[in-house]
Structure 1
């Protein structure tokens, strides 16, 4: 029940209600949307650990990928390895959203928000599993950091997808403008640290430590 309430709250947040409560009809549509999504979703994920090098001129080097991003550099301060991560809810969710958008735009908007909440929930679950394995080696994860956050340019979707071979492993591809297909998908860089900084898996959006040096 707690998890169900949590995902409903997340969907309401994505809908932009802020601190206001959603009306009964909206809540009913949210519940129905999650039921529809559960039937259509085929979540898959892929991850791989890479060494991370910090260059003197401020670049981050992960395999053959070189990144210039002050916000990502702050997040990865002190890390010598990273997890490259990709996840998707699958093509069935896209088909469902297209079908609903043809007949009921209000419901389609709610479905989009519920799918975003479901994807975030799935990514959190994946990260918990990765974290549990690494903690056996006394290594700890930073929050996920995706292309498009801060000054971490969205163009870095391409090397992450390529390095993880996402097209073959989870069916995730990119358009020429670096948008993901299926649309309810995500890529991310997750720092691996020897220091347990108590960063929440769900990231900076839920963390109250506004002065954190790793904050996005």
Structure 2
């Protein structure tokens, strides 16, 4: 497990989107300062850490992606990009339990608005940590003259949530303090798991499955 000492930047606009504001909506006079205040102090509640490994891709056939260590992921969408890759980075990351515990206490005390805002900040912070990890993987790839794909997580595209178990298996015993429930949900809840393909730049940089996905209302849809 590696702790992250870098400051995690939290985008206030993304926090507002997470609590239900549209891109063009102006937050109320009460919400805007509350979001900014909580973002300013969120660093005291966030303990980001991650673990990860880079494995060779052994074979890709149909929807099956076999990586070093005999772990087999299954996703037709992701197989299309992994076919073009030489290696795959497998990662787990979390912002820790402190923020979630604070959200729970606020809700128990009847501070529902404050709890909602802080919970949204936690979600944005977890994605910001994922961005940090992705940049680190990119640095490793560039040092080898390679590039990275977008990151993919179980439960998105056609990659089943049950495959979460294989992500944990692939990283070995270092799960960054994250536990997996029988339902394949991660604890702490503000955690992210996934994979990133590594391969020749012309092949992997521009692949975006959202371009051909008909689910236009998907909240995780990437810009196309």
Greater shift, 154-163 or 190-199, is seen at 190-199
The equivalences for 1:158-173 within 5 A come to 158-165=165-172, 168-173=174-179
Q: Does 1:114 align with 2:117?
A: no
Residue among 15, 19, 40 paired with 2:19: 15
Q: Encode CA deviations 1:136-173: one digit per residue, 9 max, x unaligned.
A: 2111111110001011001111121232246x451011
User: SS of the counterpart of 1:143?
Assistant: strand
Deviation of 1:7 (Å): 0.7
2:65–2:74 CA contact under 8 A, matched in 1:
yes
**TM-aligned CA distance change 1:195 to 1:117, over 3 Å:** same
Match of 1:29 among 12, 21, 34: 34
Deviation at 1:8, TM superposition (A): 0.3
| Aligned-residue offset at 1:75 | 3.5
Instruction: Tell whether 2:90 aligns with 1:84.
Output: yes
Deviations 1:45-79 (A, max 9, x none): 11110111334343111232222211212332401
The one of 75, 81, 97 aligned to 2:103 = 97
Select 1:51's aligned residue among 48, 56, 61: 56
Aligned match of 1:142 in 149, 153, 157? 149
Aligned-partner Cα distance in 2 for 1:73–1:113: 32
Report the alpha carbon displacement of residue 36 of structure 1 after superposing the two structures with TM.
3.9
Contact 2:92 2:175 in 1 (8 A): no
Whole-angstrom CA distance in 2 between matches of 1:164 and 1:27:
40
Aligned to 1:124: 131
Distance in 2, Cα, partners of 1:95 & 1:199: 39
1:38 and 1:140, CA in 2 relative to 1: closer, same or farther beyond 3 A? same
Asked if the contact 1:161/1:173 (under 8 Å) is kept, the reply is no
Q: Secondary structure at the match of 2:115?
A: helix
Q: What CA distance in whole angstroms lies between the structure 2 residues aligned with 1:33 and 1:189?
A: 31
- Unpaired stretches in structure 2, ≥5 consecutive residues: 1-7, 212-219
For the 8 Å contact 2:60–2:79, the answer to whether it is kept is no
Instruction: Say if 2:197 is the partner of 1:191.
Output: yes
1:90 offset after TM fit, Å? Answer: 0.6
Equivalents in 2 of 1:24, 1:101: separation in Å? 22
Distance 1:24 1:75, change over 3 A: farther
Unpaired segments ≥5 residues, structure 1: 210-216
